[in-house]
Amino acid sequence: MPVDVVVVSAPLFTLILIGYLAARFGLIPIEAIKGLNNYVLYFAITSMLFRMGSSASLEQAINPTVLTVWLLACWSVLGLAMAYGRTQGRTWLATSFGALAAALPNAGFMGIALVTAVLGTENLHIMVPIILADTVVLQGTAIAFSQLDAASNQGILAKLKVSFSGVLKNPMVWGTVTGVFWGATGWALPSILANLVDILADSATPVALFTVGAVLFREQRRVSERPSSKDFVAWIAFLKLLVLPLIMWGLGVLAMRMGLPLTSGELAVLVLVAALPSAANTTLLAEKFGADSGLVATALLTTSTIGFVTFNVVATLVS
């Protein structure tokens, strides 16, 4: 693969390794990881998304072609993962969050940094509809399916109401939405606020990647992998790192041939983000809903480890 792709991506993956080693050797206490995660989620990434959203037009943020290609590809992988999990006799709860790990890339924590490093900022605006689709639609879909075999007295409608309200409490959603609507007004932020947003947004990439590494170590400590999970984890990793980028590329090419408004640069971003490892917050969602967090954490570790090689291959092809 060309050296330039490795040169720009290797430092970013190395930041993940540094975070992992810092947690492994006690430089970052396990108890501090939640604080790092909260800083990234509530302040740094949210500020970055606000800045990105405010620089994108409403048409760019709610791009029907990007949303259609992205969701069709991710739903396809979600369905393939769910079908495999159900044939193994797994519950809807366990299957749904395993499938989410196969379909949900680490777009917020890793995507913005890696897309910028490999492809530049020209088509970065399509990260806005991607992240909105991930945090609202994909997570909402997995959560909805996870409740199908729920055995408690609470009705499914009540469960879905709680689930989707949790999705809407995600600060990444509101950072993006607020930024888009602020940009639509045409108003400029006061200088003090603009500088504050810039400082927080600029810290997002290094702190987020460092935090991903620390989270990986924390989840590795929690994993008690069962032998019966290995096949499902391998299937999740295969779908996430190879099948999802391939389906994304195929649907994108089809959309372009149909004359839909999708440029080759935007397609490159879609494929590159699809090639990222599983999202780090899938383990948090699995824990929250009582799913098999050990399975999801193992999938996260597997895709993050193998992903350095597969991502660079995909980055070489699309760049």
DSSP 16-70: HHHHHHHHHTTSS-HHHHHHHHHHIIIIIHHHHHHHHHHHS-HHHHT-HHHHHHH
The pLDDT of residue 227 is 46
What is the C-alpha to C-alpha distance for residues 283 and 280, in angstroms, rounded to an integer?
6
Q: Residues, the chain, total?
A: 319
**Which DSSP symbol is given to 189?**
P
pLDDT score of 131: 86
Q: Please say whether the dihedral angle defined by the alpha carbons of residues 174, 177, 183 and 185, taken in this order, is positive or negative.
A: negative
Both structure tokens of 261: 């408004």
pLDDT at position 243, please?
Answer: 97
At residue 1, the pLDDT reads 43
Give the separation between CA 239 and CA 286, rounded to whole angstroms: 19
The set of residues, in sequence order, having a beta carbon less than 8 Å from that of 247 and lying 6+ positions away, is 73, 76, 77, 274
| Secondary structure percentages of the chain, helix, strand, coil, to 5 | 80, 0, 20
First-to-last alpha carbon distance for the chain, in angstroms, is 11
For residue 155, the model assigns a pLDDT of: 62
- What pLDDT does residue 43 have? 92
278: helix, strand or coil: strand
Q: What parts of the chain have a pLDDT lower than 50?
A: 1-3, 151, 225-227
For residue 196, count other CB atoms closer than 10 A to its CB: 14
